[in-house]
Amino acid sequence: MSNSSVKINLEEYINSFSWDKRIVLFITKDIHFINETDDFFKTNSCENEERNLKYIRIVGDDINKYIIPDRYKNKYGLWLIGYDGGDKSYSNDTSLLKEIHNIIDTMTIRKIEMTEQNEKCN
């Protein structure tokens, strides 16, 4: 017997990373958007790892596997979610990817992280 009917509660899943990971939540059906976002995470893996970024990718029919919180329901795009579980930024296109490292680097906790760790991606 399969558990395919059991849906993942997206809010609980996001909260499971609280104070450990920043999250980029990606919900879309646009194939071009998918390729561009996946490429960003492949080519910037070191920089993303330094910033404790977790990539949650929900594309196409995968959305049916989740219980989607109201704040994301019927919306597509990219969200940057902070350690506290709050939405820090959103775009309905790939523009967030161009700014995401700068946005994170201005956050108070990230500034502390940068003083405590040696940059290894430069």
Q: Is 36 inside any structural domain?
A: yes
Specify the DSSP class assigned to residue 105.
H
Size of the chain in residues: 122
Considering its fold, how many domains does the chain have in total? 1
pLDDT tens readout for residues 90-110: 999 999 999 999 999 999 999
Asked whether residue 122 is domain-assigned, the answer is no
Residue 3 domain flag? no
Distance of CA 58 to the CA centre of its chain: 10
pLDDT(1) > 50? no
With beta carbons less than 8 A apart as the criterion, state whether 19 and 52 touch.
Answer: no
Residue 121 lies in a domain: no
Higher pLDDT, 115 or 117: 115
Domain with 22 in it: 8-116
CA angle in degrees (0–180, nearest 5) for 15-111-24: 35
Give the CATH number for residue 65.
Answer: 3.40.30.10
Q: Does the pLDDT value for residue 6 go beyond 80?
A: yes
Q: Provide the mean pLDDT of the chain.
A: 92
pLDDT > 90 fraction of the chain, expressed in percent and rounded:
82
pLDDT digits (tens, 9 = 90+) for 57-72: 999 889 999 999 999 9
